[in-house]
């Protein structure tokens, strides 16, 4: 999966 | 950031404002499920633990600041709501109508988060847990509503804003999928479930409250 998981929603 | 996302977030803020207004104006928490509010507080704390991570190495964008401010508002307002319900307006809370068993919801969501996540780390599992829990956190409130059979108009406005903001998030994801190739199945499925849970409520709200009548279950 993605290297770094960035949750950019609230 | 797009128009759907920002409208949804502002509607979420509005729903919190309506809830606080209802409690302060009527000086009562009647009709509000403490269990649902407790679940939301757990959701926010589990999801926004990244507030306590170091931000030093992250690239600092305006949206990061926006998220930080919103996260602080969501956590503090939900904790404040719990305080109002448990302390200030405690006498107006009726636990006999708030009988949904949240232990099952918590256990189910924890199980799902351990099974289906993007990465098996503490932070990621807690984030996933918060997504699943948010999807079902309204159930005690809807259960309470079905037991009492009616609700104050201001309470229905609160629930409508809360449900409708989730519906707008669906549009945000469709938009992002087309514009940014954004894909997030955990959030999408949970968000769809969460919005679907409101369908009966939306229908009665539309039939009754928007036509100037009291919210009464048929």
The interface predicted TM-score (ipTM) is 0.81
State both tokens at B139.
């159930």
Please name every residue paired with B96 in a beta bridge, in sequence order, or none if there are none.
none
User: Is B71–A7 a contact, with Cβ atoms under 8 angstroms apart?
Assistant: no
Which of A2, A5, A10 has its CB closest to that of B71? A10
State both tokens at B64.
């990061």
Closest-CA residue of B relative to A9 is B67
Characterize B103-113 residue by residue with b for buried, 16 or more Cβ atoms within 10 angstroms of its Cβ, and e for exposed: eebeeebbebb
Rounded to whole angstroms, the Cα distance separating B137 from B55 reads: 30
Q: Of B76, B96, B194, B185, nearest to B139 (Cα)?
A: B194
What residues of B are in contact with residue A8 (Cβ under 8 Å)? 63, 67
Alpha carbons within 13 A on the beta-carbon side of B133:
30
Per-residue pLDDT of chain B (218 residues; tens, 9 = 90+): 899 999 999 999 999 999 999 999 999 999 999 999 999 999 999 999 989 877 666 667 888 899 999 999 999 999 999 999 999 999 999 999 999 999 999 999 999 999 999 999 999 999 999 999 999 999 999 999 999 999 999 999 999 999 999 999 999 999 999 999 999 999 999 999 999 999 999 999 999 999 999 999 98
């Amino acid at each position: 999966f993605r290297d770094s998981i960035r949750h950019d929603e609230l | 950031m797009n128009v759907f996302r920002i409208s949804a977030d502002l509607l979420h803020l509005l729903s919190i404002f309506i809830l606080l207004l209802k409690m302060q104006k009527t000086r009562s928490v009647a009709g509000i499920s403490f269990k649902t509010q407790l679940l939301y507080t757990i959701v926010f704390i589990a999801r926004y633990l990244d507030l306590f991570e170091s931000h030093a190495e992250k690239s600092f964008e305006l949206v990061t600041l926006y998220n930080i401010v919103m996260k602080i508002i969501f956590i503090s307002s939900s904790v404040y709501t719990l305080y109002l319900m448990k302390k200030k307006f405690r006498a107006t809370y009726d636990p006999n109508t708030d009988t949904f068993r949240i232990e099952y919801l918590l256990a189910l969501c924890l199980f799902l988060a351990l099974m289906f996540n993007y990465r098996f780390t503490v932070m990621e599992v807690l984030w996933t847990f918060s997504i699943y829990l948010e999807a079902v956190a309204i159930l005690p409130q809807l259960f309470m509503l079905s037991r009492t059979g009616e609700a104050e108009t201001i309470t229905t406005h609160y629930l409508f804003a809360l449900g409708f903001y989730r519906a707008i998030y669906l549009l945000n994801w469709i938009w992002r999928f087309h514009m940014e190739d954004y894909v997030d199945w955990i959030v999408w499925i949970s968000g769809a479930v969460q919005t679907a849970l409101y369908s009966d409520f939306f229908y009665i709200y539309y039939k009754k409250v928007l036509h100037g009548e009291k919210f009464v279950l048929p």
